[in-house]
Amino acid sequence: MKKHLTEQTAIFFSVTKWMFLSSFIGVLIGGVVTLFLTVLHIGEESRADLPFAYYYLLPLALVLTVWIVRTFAPTAEGHGTEKVIEAVHKNHGKIDIKVIPVKLFATLMTIFAGGSVGKEGPGAQIGAGVASAVSSLLKFNKADQKKLAICGISAGFAAVFGTPIAGAIFGVEVLVIGVIMYDVLLPSFISGFAAFTTAQFMGIHYTYYDLHFYQSVVLDLPLISKVVIAGLFFGLVSDIVVTVVSWSHKQIKRLPYHPLLKAFIGGIILVILALLFGSEYLGLGLETIKETLDPNPIVAQDLPWYAFILKILFTSLTLGVGGSGGIITPLFFIGSTSGHTFALLSGDTHIALFSALGFVSVLAGATNAPIAATIMAVELFGLDIAHYAALSVVISFLITGHRSVFPSQILGMRKSEMLNVKVGEVVDGTQVNLDENEIKKIKNIQERLQKRRELLNQKRGKKPKNVIKKVTKEKEKEDLA
């Protein structure tokens, strides 16, 4: 009885401690993210005051972004969530305080000029940075510092997108593939909800999509079959995203030119692409996402089938040359437009449904966060989509393989028992091969098939190919003689 009482007392004090800490950090992050989102909104609204197309500023903005990041906070480079994951795994969540203002300003410049990036990565990095600053100020130990940084990811994500549950799950799911860190689950939930509530209280309005009309759709086999095929398609799209973003980053980095020159040239290329294909692939692209999710299919009828391919190109180039911002908002664009394309090519009338499935499935595949993606589907689109989303999301997650847009993620599972993968290592550089036992099985199957063919040939009175060749050669020798 005494041991039981001691255990319950310790747990009570631990829960109380983290309820207080995570609430405080969530409110703090909610306020900082609100400032970021408000300034970002004002910046986007002020584009109309320019005497020329806003994206003409891209070359200059990218050069300035690269210079600021390289000069004041090199760890603020790229899409923020990746840097936070790296900090959690390698430095117990310790993040330089300079990252917060540098990341905020660099992302604002990139998005204002039309860089194809998102706002959630900076939100997560700013959140983790605030959490790290608080833990350093209060002199927390490394374990608590790490937990608080994870709360920062959840709070930043929840405050940016208005999805407190998905934000909390994303923070604990995105670190290790196939493993949820249950010890951080409660503080992540509380910090995410606190940040979301604070942002709402301070005037941030979130967009939710009414797909309630799908209640009239019966859960029938033809539709389920299409959802399965769509999941396979979204998994391939996710794989393409990861491959192109990683490849372009490495190739641009290898170019023997100064980073500022590469940023300037990249900006010019983006301007040319915008003139050729349209400016809707620049910036956040939220209007296009809304069009694909509109129940009226006429709204997005002018959207080309290759829109998701163009967005991959714009995003990989922006990030590759040094643009600052997240990658998850571009994933939403790529997912929703690829879902729109799938519905049109398959002749299905549920265009908005497949756009919504693509929205969350590409997120799950590219980030290896299927549970957060499924919950996000419910939070954004309603309960009616849950069963379809769960099916498509998990298939996409598996089909993408052991790859991620966050190369610092740690592998906590194998996605197939037929593969030999080293669990516990980071995704970047992981060697994936067929398991030795599976290779033996395949060889045994091939040998049995060969024996069956020989037996069938003998029953039909046919000689094996090697015997036929031998007889033919002997016949040729006789003719020559």
pLDDT at 473 over 70: no
pLDDT at 188 over 50: yes
Tell which wins on pLDDT, 452 or 43: 43
Per-residue pLDDT band at 296 (split at 50, 70, 90): confident
Listed range (106-110, 118-122, 306-310, 340-344) with the worst mean pLDDT: 118-122
- Determine the Cα–Cα distance for residues 195 and 208; give it in Å rounded to an integer: 18
In the structure encoding, which two tokens stand for residue 226, read together? 């299409």
Q: Please give the class, per CATH, of domain 212-420.
A: mainly alpha
Region 32-53: mean pLDDT is: 90
pLDDT at 386 over 80: yes
Residues 190-200: tens digit of each pLDDT: 999 999 999 99
pLDDT at 216 over 60: no
Tell which wins on pLDDT, 272 or 140: 272
Count CA atoms within 13 Å of residue 34 on its CB side.
18
Residue 480: the pLDDT is 47
- Determine the Cα–Cα distance for residues 371 and 364; give it in Å rounded to an integer: 8
Residues 394-438: tens digit of each pLDDT: 999 999 988 899 988 888 888 877 777 777 777 776 666 655 665
Residues 238-263: tens digit of each pLDDT: 999 999 999 999 999 999 999 999 99
Considering only CA atoms, which of 413, 405, 376 is closest in space to residue 393? 376
Per-residue pLDDT band at 464 (split at 50, 70, 90): low
- Determine the Cα–Cα distance for residues 139 and 160; give it in Å rounded to an integer: 28
Region 73-101: mean pLDDT is: 79
Q: What is the mean pLDDT of the chain?
A: 85
Residue 342: the pLDDT is 95
Superfamily of domain covering 2-201: Clc chloride channel (1.10.3080.10)
- Determine the Cα–Cα distance for residues 20 and 347; give it in Å rounded to an integer: 53
pLDDT at 63 over 70: yes
Residue 178: the pLDDT is 83
Percent of the chain with pLDDT over 90: 43
CATH 1.10.3080.10 domain position(s) in the chain: 2-201, 212-420
Predicted model pTM = 0.87
Q: Are 375 and 387 in contact (CB under 8 A)?
A: no
Residue 369: the pLDDT is 92
